[in-house]
Amino acid sequence: MAPAVRVLCDLAKQSQENAGVAWLIGVPWMPWTIVSSIRCLRYKDGDPDYAAEEGELRILLPGGLEVIGALLVGSDAAKACAVATKIREALNLVSSNDIVAATRSISSDGITFFSQALQPIEQSSFSSKEFWESTALLHCQVELGLSIYTSSGTSSDLKKQLDGKIRDLAESFTSSTTVCIMEGSSRRFLVRSQANEELQSVFPDSALFDSSIPHPLAVKLLTQQSKQTDQVIAPVGHYTPSAEGTLLHTATVSLDVLCLVSRNSALHKAMNTITRALTIQLESIGKALSARNTSLQLRPYHFKVPASVHPVTAIFDKNQLERDSVDLRKALHSRLGLPLDRPLFRVANALTIRGPQFISNRIDGKRLLDVHLGLPRCGISGGEVSVIDGSYEYYHYLQDRMDDKGWGCAYRSLQTIMSWFRLQHYTSMKEPSHREIQATLVEIGDKEPSFVGSQEWIGAIELSFVLDKLLGVTSKILSVRSGADLPEKCRELAAHFDTQGTPVMIGGGVLAYTLLGVDYNELTGESAFLILDPHYTGGEDLKTIRNGGWCGWKKAVSDTGREFFLRNKFYNLLLPQRPQAV
């Protein structure tokens, strides 16, 4: 049976705007399996700059992942094999017969796969679930302190001392005195890199978090500081006089690596993967410190990006302002084929890896988060669901010791919408209170001063003013003369959720709702609306909210003839637009 290549990413989308090279990423224990692709950004004389690419790929990819091939647009398979071989050589990867060459013509989205022998390869189906069933994710953090004494204070002397310290630390990772502790499902294992025993089965099954990634297994690295000996050893101090003033340079190096290993891997081989990843990260940070200065607070962060099976890693300066890292974030978006209209690589978006698992419907502070997750579909035959992209907090009546029952529903919808912008890290501003919302409308001249402290309603127009003033967010307004006409707007609403992904406020009469999605059949016109109702007055109980219909799918007119959106009411819909920012 001829081999087939398994693809876990959208290569056609990745190569649509790329007329150059995309690196195909896989794992050595799964031949012919492409788990992701990363665009080549560095070129030299028309070919990839392999040295520059090698340095950046080492930082970006978790340990255990390798470049297994290349995708070229507008070129042939032989060229794809050649560039894949060269980048593997630059990465010091052993030769492999499993290199995959992929080509796509400029005028077509179809991708053709070839073996290293330039024989065509068929593509077979494969899922992320199958991938993680045979793959374990490991997480290791190490913090190191560097103290460097220089007598001259010159940059060359400092660089020499720093390079030596980094080299010594890197060598310590593979020392016979270094061990790691891996905690399995029922016991802990102490593992040495040079172990002879083939210990296995330490990797427990783990629930997936963040929709697709399993929670990583924690690994601790330990180094033996003392030696066992029968001899009496007294402490010794060394004194070296200096003709000039001696300067002390200190730096803290924080290492944080994720590694992918086969679930059938021997433990000492898994440890070797971890120590290699730590060494690579340490050397990368060392180069940056050496080239610039030791005052940098460089730290690795892990990110889950859309449509990626695995996390990726980026290194940022903790002291650097976000506006100063825009170019780096844009480059990361370009490498991974991501849009430039959302902040996926801001530090606040990094994965927080702690605890036994991640829970989607959780209390964040006082409020429930993402209460729509896990709801069954409405049952629109042949319908297509479009929902918000991102997290939000559920704001409703009587929260914050505020009795706004009967008049505050639009205020609560606005707070829910603003929580979306905060949780997607477009802003750090907390959601404003009712009084602060009213004061904002007075400040811009929309309301009289007497409006502050009142119980007057507001609608979509006022919400758009507040979003613009406080967040700089623009909004579109859709209007319908009757609630019966709302299904006619489903095509526009679906496009909004697919492209902008922000919650929508619907206001009609004296009622306001937050819209989280639509289920729409373009052929029949059947539709349903995913409503988050701010009129709820109970406690933060997810079961009560769902069973009571306070968050759920609603038809404009139910099967029993009950109108959810009233025919005799005029409705405005507020569609906040996602800022164009990374």
Check: CB of residue 500 under 8 Å from CB of residue 576: yes
- pLDDT-based confidence at 355, cuts 50/70/90? very low
Q: Which fold has domain 363-576?
A: Cathepsin B; Chain A (3.90.70)
Instruction: Tell me: pLDDT of 538 over 80.
Output: yes
Least confident of 61-70, 211-220, 322-331, 440-449: 211-220
293: which residues sit within 8 A by CB, 6+ positions away?
A: none
CATH architecture for the domain at 4-126:
3-Layer(aba) Sandwich (3.40)
- pLDDT-based confidence at 250, cuts 50/70/90? confident
Which of 487 and 292 is assigned the larger pLDDT? 487
Average pLDDT over residues 18-46: 91
pLDDT in tens, 262-284: 988 888 888 899 999 999 999 99
Sketch the domain layout of the chain as residue ranges. Answer: 4-126, 135-223+245-349, 363-576
Residue 64 burial (CB < 10 Å; 0-12/13-18/19+)? buried
Predicted local confidence at residue 363, as pLDDT? 41
Closest of 457, 445, 544, 528 to residue 494, by C-alpha: 528
Predicted local confidence at residue 357, as pLDDT? 40
Query: Beta strands 298-303 and 247-262: pairing type?
Result: unpaired
Closest of 557, 555, 552 to residue 536, by C-alpha: 552
Average pLDDT over residues 288-302: 79
> Encoding tokens for residue 210?
């963040």
Instruction: Tell me: pLDDT of 209 over 60.
Output: no
* Long-range CB contact pairs, 90-99, < 8 A, 24+: 90/50, 90/51, 90/53, 90/54, 91/54, 91/57, 91/58, 91/66, 91/67, 93/66, 93/67, 96/28, 96/68, 98/31, 98/32, 98/68, 99/68, 99/69
Least confident of 13-17, 238-242, 368-372: 13-17
Least confident of 95-99, 451-455, 462-466: 95-99
Instruction: Tell me: pLDDT of 559 over 90.
Output: no
Give the integer Cα–Cα distance in Å for 331 and 311: 17
Give the integer Cα–Cα distance in Å for 70 and 102: 6
Instruction: Tell me: pLDDT of 541 over 70.
Output: yes
Average pLDDT over residues 299-322: 88
Least confident of 48-52, 295-299, 383-387, 443-447: 295-299
Give the integer Cα–Cα distance in Å for 244 and 441: 66
Mapped onto helix, strand or coil, the DSSP state of residue 434 is: helix
Residue 248 burial (CB < 10 Å; 0-12/13-18/19+)? exposed
The residues that bridge with 303 in the sheet, in sequence order, are 312
Average pLDDT over residues 508-521: 94
How far is the first Cα of the chain from the last one, in angstroms, to the nearest whole number?
A: 46
Q: Please state the pTM of the whole predicted model.
A: 0.79
Least confident of 30-34, 97-101, 355-359, 421-425: 355-359
Least confident of 14-23, 190-199, 364-373, 441-450: 190-199
Predicted local confidence at residue 359, as pLDDT? 36
- pLDDT-based confidence at 288, cuts 50/70/90? confident
Least confident of 251-255, 313-317, 459-463: 251-255
pLDDT over 70 percentage in the chain: 87
Average pLDDT over residues 556-570: 87
Predicted local confidence at residue 182, as pLDDT? 78
pLDDT in tens, 178-187: 888 877 655 6
Mapped onto helix, strand or coil, the DSSP state of residue 91 is: coil
CA 35 to chain centre: 16
Strand arrangement of the beta sheet that strand 36-39 belongs to: 33-34, 4-7, 120-124, 111-114, 100-104, 66-73, 21-26, 36-39
Instruction: Tell me: pLDDT of 553 over 70.
Output: yes
Predicted local confidence at residue 360, as pLDDT? 37
Q: Which amino acid is at 537?
A: T
User: Which range, 71-80, 144-153, 351-360, is most confident?
Assistant: 71-80
DSSP string, 192-235: ETT--S----------EETTTEEPPEEEEEEE--S---SS----
Closest of 362, 380, 383, 379 to residue 371, by C-alpha: 362
Predicted local confidence at residue 205, as pLDDT? 55
Give the integer Cα–Cα distance in Å for 400 and 390: 24
List residues with catalytic annotation: 409, 533, 535
Instruction: Tell me: pLDDT of 195 over 60.
Output: no
Check: CB of residue 378 under 8 Å from CB of residue 528: yes
Which of 475 and 355 is assigned the larger pLDDT? 475
